[in-house]
Copies of this chain bind each other. A is one copy, B any other.
Amino acid sequence: MKNLKEKILIQVKDDLAQIETALSNNLDPYLDLVSKVARHILFGGGKRLRPLLMVLSARICGYQGNDDISFSTIFEYLHAATLLHDDLVDEASLRRGRPVAHSIWGNPTAVLVGDFLLARSLTLAAKTNRPNIIGIIAGITENMSQGEIEQLWLKGNLDITEAEYLEVILRKTAVLFQGACRSGAILADAPENEENALSEYGRHLGLAFQMADDLLDYIADTKSLGKAVGADLKEGKLTLPVIYSLKGAIAADREKIRRIIQNSDFSVNEFEMLVKMLYQYGGIDYTRREAVRHVEKAKEAISIFTPSPQRDLLMDIADYSLIRKN
């Protein structure tokens, strides 16, 4: 497992370094406080997966220009903006093992710097001079805010269906992956079938990525996760492992699960009991199988491209989304 991560990292090392530089340069001319808060969220150990997906998507379509790295930062700024607002909405306290921005600088600053990062991503989008790409960025933002709102209003609702869950994760996570991949294809002036293939790749990868994320909340350990396990549950956020298990649980167990969910102060013992039930009723296994299925769909989508190192890399990234630890 570790080998796959290293195999990927060796190949994208130079791109990642350039992305880091571009992310930093694009923030330079701003107010001290804005830069400081933006840097806290931007340079806190993110994987740069979204910009990387745009760069690789452009390259697999034959792009040879110099704008890919700079434009790819759009997707990291957008991601960082939503992290700032989501941490606040979720009343989170840790992200990647560090205190969240709103706990350091207060809610108002976190709201406003989030707005600033959103605006930054749009300014960069406008610079692409491609109305298609700009429309995609705007659409991603609309979807993400709506996905977060849906998630917020579904909190604590034990009757949430798998379809509702899928709509939420499509909007809050997958459209950004999808948009990054599609924008890469557009930048490369790729034919429609390639643009659609990369769009499908991104969408399925995003769904798999979020399902893996939701699994980690039950099966990871706090240290490697960088935040407390069971955080979703504490917030009343019901994800696929729970949704699936609730469907099959006998009345007495359903009642037990309900009690744990409705008490945000649940004990470690109670949490462990819940995880056991998620295994027993198949929620863990089902979620993992669904994530694998979406990874396979993602890989299938890009199989239309002739084999190349870029294609292999995108395939490896899809596989990696299932085995990552944070």
Contacts and interface: CB of A to CB of B under 8 A. Distances in A.
A286 interface: no
Interface residues of A, number: 42
A47 to B, nearest CB: 23
A224 interface: no
Contact of A31 (B112, B114, B146): B146
A145 B89 contact: no
Interface in A232-274: none
Interface in A108-140: 108-109, 111-116, 118-120, 122-123, 125-127, 129, 131, 134-135, 137-139
A114 B107 CA distance: 15
Contacts of A33: 149, 153
Contact of A111 (B111, B113, B119, B139): B111
Copies in the complex: 2
A150 B119 contact: no
B85 A149 contact: no
Given A107-B107, A119-B141, 14 more contacts: A31-B149, A33-B149, A34-B146, A89-B108, A109-B152, A111-B111, A114-B115, A115-B115, A115-B118, A115-B144, A119-B138, A119-B145, A120-B142, A134-B134
A270 to B, nearest CB: 26
A138 B122 contact: yes
A88 interface: yes
* Of listed A33, A34, A135, A142, residue having the most chain B CB within 10 A: A142
Given A31-B150, A34-B149, A153-B33, A142 B123 contact: yes
Closest 5 CB pairs of A and B: A119-B141, A122-B138, A89-B108, A115-B145, A116-B145
Interface string A85-117: 100110000000000000000011101111110
A148 interface: yes
A149 B119 contact: no
Contacts of A150: 31
B116 A146 contact: yes
A149 B34 CA distance: 8
A125 B146 contact: no
A141 B122 contact: yes
Contacts of A138: 119, 122-123, 125-126
B88 A111 contact: yes
A150 B30 CA distance: 11
Given A123-B135, A135-B127, A145 B112 contact: yes
